[in-house]
Amino acid sequence: MKKYKAGIINVTGYAGLELARILESHPSVELCSVTGRSLAGKKLSDVFPYLHRLDLPITENLEGQVDVAFLALPHKEGAALVPALLEKGMRVIDISADFRLKDPALYQAWYGFEHPCPGLLEEAVYGLPELKRKDIAGARLVANPGCYPTSAILGLVPAFKSDLIEPSAIIDAKSGLSGSGRTPTVKTIFCEADEDVCAYSIGTHRHQPEIVQELCRASGGVIPRVTFCPHLVPMSRGILSTAYARLKQPVTDEEVKEIYRQFYKDEPFVKVTAEPPHTRYTRGTNMCFIYPVVDALNEQLIVISCIDNLVKGAAGQAVQDMNIMLGLAETEGLEAMATLP
């Protein structure tokens, strides 16, 4: 059976390493090339012994035949590389934010740089399979959604599409520390983060325009008012988002749950739960657990959604996109269940 060849640009970050872990056991794809500027010349399995079955050299550039290239670089560092990869006939999946936003002016406003190839923004497909599956299937370039937006959008889209709620929402989200990447900062070192929870980037988080953009599409072009407040919690991985929105008309709790169940009934990686989910239910998996509930007293919809920020929020969703782009079974390589404790 033919195996497609995959490469990872910047394998040494958390998202790149998680990609390598998932691809190692993929039945239809072989990871054949990985890059990492600071570790070029070393072997992946030597630097990261837990990836002991991946005896690949870390190089400065992708080498050999590559059918699918994953970019796991920080924002603005990978965008300029994409045109050359596309010219070589590669499918490209960018895990950074560089192709998620359609308006190039938003990159200057929210990310502080002028986009180097704005012409590709319209072509890039936002890689949330539950909403863009058909577009992803024919795409050359997929923009992998952010971790916070994945949990928030999946939690709210059924309500927006069903016209259940007013075009506004408050999203209170909590993330594990791996969402900040491997480069240590004061707020992510153990002595600072342990026994502590803090809000950050209130009203200025770079994922906010991404959430607004996709919820606007879901609501038929009405731009929603979104208040997004992220928090860091002292755990390694996981995101729990709680979204609040005002109902347009009275509706029962069971009616809302049925709307959500029907919306996601054919989705392999979304489960509507009977009880509020825990982040540990998703640990190491590509699942998103969603719990909608009606606060009848205050005429509010409350939606809890949980994902693993490194899997469904990054590497796992990228592999899900890859499967769709290559015409493979969408669940290939992503069947793992969570581990406890």
Cite the active site residues.
147
Strands 68-71 vs 91-94: parallel, antiparallel or unpaired: parallel
Sheet strands (E) in 39-113: 58-59, 68-71, 91-94
Instruction: Look at residues 316, 322, 328, 321 and name the one whose alpha carbon lies nearest to residue 67.
Output: 322
Indicate the SS3 state at residue 149: helix
One-letter amino acid of 327: G
Provide the token pair at 145.
Answer: 């959604």
Instruction: Indicate the SS3 state at residue 69.
Output: strand
Strand pairing partners for 246?
300
Rounded Cα distance between 21 and 333, Å, is: 10
Distance CA 285, CA 308 (A): 7
Burial bucket for residue 162 (CB in 10 Å: 0-12, 13-18, 19+): middle
CA dist., res. 173 & res. 176, Å (int) = 10
For residue 104, cis peptide bond before it (omega within 30 degrees of 0):
no
Angstrom distance (rounded) from CA 127 to CA 249: 32
Q: For residues 245 and 299, is the Cβ–Cβ distance under 8 A?
A: no
